[in-house]
Structure 1
Amino acid sequence: MERRNTRQTREIVVPGDVLDGTGMKPGDYAYVQDGKVRASVMGVRNVFQNTVGVIPLRGCYMPSSGDTVIGVIVDIGPSNWLVDIGAPYPAPLHVNEVPWRVEFGDTSRYLGMGNVVLLKVLSVDESKKIQVTMKDSGLRKLEGGRLVKISHSKVSRVIGKQGSMISMLKNMTDCRITVGQNGMVWIDGDEENADVAAKAVMMIEELAQCSNLTDRIKEFIENKLPQSDEEEGDE
């Protein structure tokens, strides 16, 4: 039986490089010149169905060993899952790197398409092959909640100095919040509170350069969730 191969050879291209000359349609960041599809930006050649394009490298999350990331299951094989962690390269999660004993071909019983997982990057080799694991303290499948995507370069602002910003967000919204170093943020809590927390995270990304960011975020949450008024009424 023929099985679909989910792995692609990832090729770095620069503007002007030929992506295809056999009649495929141009995808993202690609154009046609002299009957050939060419790259318009530096990035990774990407083929999808009958189109060929480029995944830009600039601004992309480039994983490093030890990073804790949040990913989404996008494909399932008999002995691994393919996880989207926002990198330009695939991140296979092998059955040997999960906390369950998974029989060959039984992978879909444990993690399905669209499931959200908290992972750690084990290694990234010279060919950009990524190894990830769920076999470490705190790593797990993230049930329920919602995902917010921000630039990975703004993650440090969401966390704050010594975790000050993320602690404030959790305490004021009463939500569970997990921040991946790839810019994926998982938020779980009461629907209204989680909505405010999500908006606050996006506000942090937008206003990351502001010196009084903590005060702005605190004021925003207080206006949306006036907890202080309730507390004063209880006294």
Structure 2
Amino acid sequence: MEHNKNQLGEQDSPKSALLNLLFNIVIPVLILSKWTDEAHLGPVKGLIVALAFPVIYGAWDLFSKKKWNFVSVLGVVSVLLTGGLALFKLDGFWFAVKEAAIPGIIGIVVLFTAKSKYNLVRMLILSPKLIKVEVLDAIIKEQKLEVPFEKLVIKTTYFFVLSFVASAILNFVLAIVILKSPAGTPEFNAELGKMTALSFPVIMIPSMAILIFSLWFLLRGITKMTGVHYNEVIRS
């Protein structure tokens, strides 16, 4: 389990989480919903201004931390794609495809790396910041459980894949249901803002529920397999 010892990046502070929420959701939603009519910014300028906030924040986050952050990069790419589709005035179907494609692609990558050292469960959960890796490693070696433990990690990874599949489906359905107006109109921008606002409760909550279940499945499996309660290997 030596490859489990890769350190994760620093966890986001409450201030960073608040800025992330403001720049990526709250401010763009307000602009798209309230200020893209002809009396204010207009549909095109309003869309550009709204998309500028997550792009600028994502770029600042990347450069200020002096390292590439996958989530920030993904956010910037997603926003640029949204802007490009809107400026070319493509209809809502293509926005739905874009919304589904990003989590879908991530899910495929996670699936194909499940049996490699880049396994998502290993990188996110079996990290020295969360788990006493040396203790868990010693227990597994002592009880000769390397093969069953590897199978448990892979099974848990499949639940992670399921969360991305669910996100892709929900993204597609949400976009199809909400985006009805022609692209490039104030009505379309308002619908885009509504879709962004609804994405958290409609998509994030079910996806997080699956991820939490995945964590429980892994920890419960460790307890059943080793006879050692998972509290003994989780860092306090």
TM-score, normalization: structure 1? 0.23
TM-score, normalization: structure 2? 0.23
Q: Which has the higher contact order (CA 8 A, sep 6+)?
A: 2
Bigger proportion of residues as helix: 2
